[in-house]
Amino acid sequence: MNIKHHESSGFTLIEAMITMLIVSIGLLAMAQLLITSIQQNNRSEMRIDASSAVQTLLKEATVSIKKDTDCVDPMTLATPTRTYLAKGYTEEVRCFEILGPSGEQQERYLIKAKVFDPTGRELAAASSIMTTVVSEL
């Protein structure tokens, strides 16, 4: 009695389905990594924009202080519309007069600027100390 054994080559249906499952899990992991990378990139871009905006706010506040009465808390800067405000961001500029050890005026000011995202989370903050020289005519 002759029994013939056939050697089969190729994949069975089960092997092909398991391979597809493994490949699809890998692709889903890569897609999740791509989404996370894009979100982090957007957050970094927002922080960079906010840092630049804070520096601009400090410069504008410094220019607007000419005398003691200009240093108010909070400060409102009369400047052109900033593009990040249209995206729902908010800004805060505060000015404090720095007094000497005996409470005398020194014509020095601490200016603080912050930018917040639409949810109210602080994106960037900076401060600067400014000294003014008032000339009497």
Residue 123 near residue 46 (C-beta atoms within 8 A): yes
Region 75-79: what's the mean pLDDT? 69
pLDDT tens column, 20-43: 999 999 999 999 999 999 999 998
pLDDT above 90 as % of the chain: 24
* Token pair recorded at residue 19: 């391979």
* Token pair recorded at residue 9: 């080559």
Query: What predicted TM-score, i.e. pTM, was given to this entire model?
Result: 0.65
pLDDT tens column, 110-130: 889 898 888 889 999 999 888
Q: Report whether the peptide linkage leading into residue 74 is cis, meaning its omega lies within 30 degrees of zero.
A: yes
Q: In Å, how far are 42, 44, 49, 113 from 38, measured between CA atoms?
A: 6, 10, 17, 28
